[in-house]
Amino acid sequence: MSKGLAGQVIADTSRSRVDGQKGELLYHGYNIMDLGANSSFEEVAYLMWNSEYPNAEQLAAFKAEMAGMRTIPAELMSIMKSLPTGGHPVAVLRTMVSMLSLVDADAENIEVEAAKQKAMKIAAVMPTIVAAWQQIRNGNEPVAPRADLDHAANFLYMLNGEEATPEAVAAVDTYLVLLVDHGFNASTFSARVTTGTLSDMYSAITTAIGTLKGPAHGGATQKAMEQFIAAKDAGVEAWFNESMETGRRIMGIGHRVYKVEDPRAKIFRPLAENLAKQSEEGHWFDISLQVEQLARANQFFIERNLFPNVDYYSAPVLYMIGIPMDQFTSLFAMSRVIGWSSHVLEQLANNRLIRPLAQYVGPEGLTVPK
């Protein structure tokens, strides 16, 4: 038995490949280092849903179609405005994605083209939900989406009520590209399990969002930023030494799969450094770099091959461009929904109910007391 299914292959996939020994990540054959430097989020979404990289004409049509799906239905916006303003953003996102099925008369249709359309609708409207909740909980009216802005730029416009700087847009777009898919991670696996029952696209994505919410998965980016704030307050070296003495985990260093540096961290580190040079909040990069240097000089991390993962430098990147910490996981979901939905499509194409066995270790032979 392998606890947590560690090392177990449970299905074939053409969506992404993770090589933890080489530190390599591919999306449908394309290296993440290439995609991260040269592709937009929309191009990667098209790739994942259509198994081919778009040409200029295909991309323009795809962008226009997605842009036309960004509006939250009026009846759901009304409900959203009635939610307790203290609700966690990911809980709100999970709830609203689930409720989208209630205004889709064809929600149960899981034929390939219908399922792909639902995936596009969910991916297009998720940034609107995230941004709208940020406005609502601050007592403001949500900002309507703009069809003339690309995905990342439109999100930041709705979030802040004004157009973002090119640097901020580029940072968010890169973030969305880098988080799209990552093998059979916990949330992707949960989406495929839900799909295996022949449930609908909305149910699968709702399941995945709930799985992503945990601090051992999507919530780790927020925890990484919280530790940098704690390190700043206590002094970086003192904070690090106390962490090692008390066994407190250094969030964002180490990965279940990678035994070398996460390739996405290789992109986020210089991105964070460049943003720091243009930001009044640039000290957050300095702090994260200091913590990394202390860790990589420590035998505990050296012996265990523990390096920064995708959460580590993405935390200061998001923080420096003004994303609220409790919205970090929502941005993760805005990206990973592309991977989730592409895996749903793959599961539907060759479906079998996912039903592993459990090893019973409880008592036997008990009788009811007389």
Asked if 208 contacts 190 with a C-beta cutoff of 8 angstroms, the reply is yes
CB atoms within 10 A of CB 268: 28
> pTM higher than 0.75, yes or no?
yes
Asked if 252 contacts 312 with a C-beta cutoff of 8 angstroms, the reply is yes
Q: How do the domains of the chain map onto residue ranges?
A: 40-165+182-214+328-349
Distance CA 167, CA 349 (A): 40
Any catalytic annotation for residue 151? Answer: no
Asked if 195 contacts 353 with a C-beta cutoff of 8 angstroms, the reply is no
At residue 42's C-alpha, the angle toward residues 38 and 44, to 5°, is 60
Distance CA 137, CA 128 (A): 14
Neighbour-count burial of 27, counting CB atoms closer than 10 A to its CB (0-12 exposed, 13-18 middle, 19+ buried): buried
Would you state the structure tokens that stand for residue 73, as one six-digit string? 């239905």
Any catalytic annotation for residue 311? Answer: yes
Q: Tell how strand 16-19 and strand 30-31 pair up.
A: unpaired
Would you state the structure tokens that stand for residue 244, as one six-digit string? 């090692």
Ordered per-residue pLDDT tens for the chain, 370 residues: 677 777 788 889 999 999 999 999 999 999 999 999 999 999 999 999 999 999 999 999 999 999 999 999 999 999 999 999 999 999 999 999 999 999 999 999 999 999 999 999 999 999 999 999 999 999 999 999 999 999 999 999 999 999 999 999 999 999 999 999 999 999 999 999 999 999 999 999 999 999 999 988 999 999 999 999 999 999 999 999 999 999 999 999 999 899 999 999 999 999 999 999 998 999 999 999 999 999 999 999 999 999 999 999 999 999 999 999 999 999 999 999 999 999 999 999 999 999 999 999 999 999 999 9
Which residue in 28, 151, 217, 343 is the catalytic one? 217
Provide the angle, in degrees to the nearest 10, between the axes of the packed helices 328-349 and 166-178.
Answer: 40
27 DSSP β-pair partners: 16, 30
Asked if 107 contacts 101 with a C-beta cutoff of 8 angstroms, the reply is yes
Q: What are phi and psi of 305, to 5 degrees?
A: 55, 50
Q: Does domain 40-165+182-214+328-349 have CATH number 1.10.580.10?
A: yes
Which residue in 28, 151, 255, 343 is the catalytic one? 255
Which residue in 173, 182, 311, 343 is the catalytic one? 311
Distance CA 30, CA 24 (A): 10
Q: Name the maximum alpha-carbon separation found in the chain.
A: 77
